[in-house]
């Protein structure tokens, strides 16, 4: 196999892994109401599924260290086997109707998806021209967005298709069958991980070996990038989770719950479309121009959704998906380039930002209880404006560093 063809097959493998990660992540949105009815538990308790899943991302920094120690192939294999195990734990959890076991299953799934995403994202940066690394990772993550769009629809069809019978007849196979199929899919990918061509990490020179003793936590730009990713993921999940109840309010058009759910599908679809278009756009428009523009536009759209009544309000909220689409992959790429040879560990720290998906929605929910759902959206508006300020700062900081390096070389 030629080097070019092997690179394409590796990229295709990464894309499919990302699609599966996205599908598994948003499958929880259908799993939650299903468990609520099957186990006859409160909604608050069922929502612990999301917390357990995103808590798994706290393992991301360790995933980065594991990746560096084992290289790509073994790390991918372990992650794919781990995700399969997480899915298989659902089988006894459903059989015994044990909610704690369900929480453990999604935690294992989340932790291994974090390792898989750290591995595939780092690999994406390593397999092509560094000049187009941001464009490449945006393209790869468009398949993650595709998975997030498929997950809720698939879950609704499989888990909630017999919604009327869920509360009266406990049938564990409703959950056991789809998760067993998912487990087999992960195992198939684990086998394929030994068939594709994978690069090895660059080794550090003597100077870098001395600097490797410095913890990455002391890298200011890297840590700020990680905090911004926590903020971004929080915004994405806030809008995706609370967007449906917002659209049912008079302020946003008073749509039915079913219609609101369909309309929010456009939000996730906008994410996918934006990443696909963004991959091409970043080859022609600089990050320095594109990111501030998109983050500021997202801020304005959320504010308009709050203050303008009627269907326009809902339209503004849905349109933010398009603006937010490329922020995570590009900020991830920016964060990784703040370090030279410890990119795998840096990727682990940055992916911990997914834990923001458990934090900000909880804060916004509390604000909604204290004020109103409408005005609680000021929180994601403030968060996207923070991302805008970050984009202005990071590019200026990088330019300053480049200037100092040029002066030092003279």
Structural domains in the chain?
1-197 (1.20.1250.20), 216-409 (1.20.1250.20)
Residue 382: CA count within 13 A, CB half-sphere = 8
Between 109 and 49, whose confidence is greater?
109
- Please report where in the chains the tokens 């990302």 appear, as a residue: 18
pLDDT at 256: 77
pLDDT at 50: 80
With CA atoms as reference, report the closest residue to 332 among 352, 357, 355, 356: 352
pLDDT at 202: 61
DSSP letter for 214, please.
S
Q: In 282-336, which ranges are continuous DSSP H helix? A: 287-307, 311-324, 327-336
Q: Count of CB atoms within 10 A of residue 354's CB?
A: 27
Task: Find how far residue 362's CA is from the centre of its chain.
Answer: 17
Residue 312, phi then psi, degrees to nearest 5: -60, -35
d(C-alpha 112, C-alpha 336), whole Å: 20
Mean pLDDT of the chain: 83
pLDDT in tens, 295-319: 999 999 999 999 998 889 889 999 9
The model's pTM: 0.78
DSSP letter for 282, please.
T
pLDDT at 302: 95
pLDDT in tens, 382-404: 999 999 999 999 988 888 877 76
Residue 369 scores a pLDDT above 70: yes
d(C-alpha 279, C-alpha 291), whole Å: 13
pLDDT at 79: 93
User: pLDDT-based confidence at 98, cuts 50/70/90?
Assistant: very high
Region 93-110: mean pLDDT is 93
DSSP letter for 340, please.
S
Tokens of 403: 């200037």
Region 116-124: mean pLDDT is 88
């Amino acid at each position: 196999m030629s080097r070019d063809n092997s690179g394409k097959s590796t990229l295709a493998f990464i894309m499919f892994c990302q699609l599966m990660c996205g599908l598994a992540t948003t499958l929880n949105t259908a799993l939650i109401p299903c468990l609520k009815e099957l186990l006859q538990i409160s909604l608050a308790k069922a929502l612990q599924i999301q917390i357990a899943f995103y808590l798994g991302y706290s393992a991301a920094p360790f995933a980065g260290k594991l990746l560096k120690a084992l290289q790509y192939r073994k790390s991918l294999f372990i992650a794919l086997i781990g995700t399969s195990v997480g899915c298989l734990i659902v089988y006894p959890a459903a059989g015994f109707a044990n909610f704690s076991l369900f929480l453990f299953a999604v935690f294992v799934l989340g932790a291994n998806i974090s390792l898989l995403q750290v591995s595939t994202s780092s690999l994406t940066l390593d397999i092509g021209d560094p000049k187009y690394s941001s464009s490449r990772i945006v393209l790869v993550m468009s398949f993650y967005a595709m998975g997030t769009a498929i997950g809720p629809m698939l879950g609704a069809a499989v888990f909630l298709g017999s919604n009327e019978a869920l509360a009266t007849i406990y049938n564990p196979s409703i959950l056991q069958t789809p998760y067993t199929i998912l487990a087999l899919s992960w195992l198939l990918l684990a086998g394929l991980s030994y068939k594709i061509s994978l690069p090895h990490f660059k080794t550090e020179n003597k100077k870098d070996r001395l600097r490797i003793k410095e913890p990455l936590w002391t890298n200011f730009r890297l840590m700020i990038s990680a905090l911004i990713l926590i903020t971004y993921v929080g915004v994405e999940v806030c809008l995706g989770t609370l967007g449906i109840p917002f659209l049912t309010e008079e302020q946003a058009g008073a749509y039915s719950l079913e219609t609101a759910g369909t309309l929010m599908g456009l939000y996730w679809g906008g994410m996918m479309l934006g990443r696909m278009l963004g991959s091409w756009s970043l080859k022609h428009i600089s990050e320095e121009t594109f990111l501030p523009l998109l983050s500021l536009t997202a801020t304005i759209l959320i504010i308009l959704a709050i203050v303008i009544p009627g269907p326009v309000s809902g339209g503004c909220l849905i349109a933010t998906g398009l603006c937010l689409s490329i922020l995570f992959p590009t900020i991830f790429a920016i964060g990784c380039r703040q370090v030279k040879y410890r990119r795998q560990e840096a990727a682990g720290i940055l992916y911990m930002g997914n834990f923001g998906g458990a934090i900000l929605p909880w804060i916004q929910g509390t604000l909604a209880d204290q004020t109103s759902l409408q005005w609680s959206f000021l929180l994601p508006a403030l968060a996207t404006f923070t991302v805008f300020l970050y984009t202005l700062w990071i590019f200026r900081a990088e330019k300053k560093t480049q200037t100092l390096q040029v002066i030092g070389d003279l």
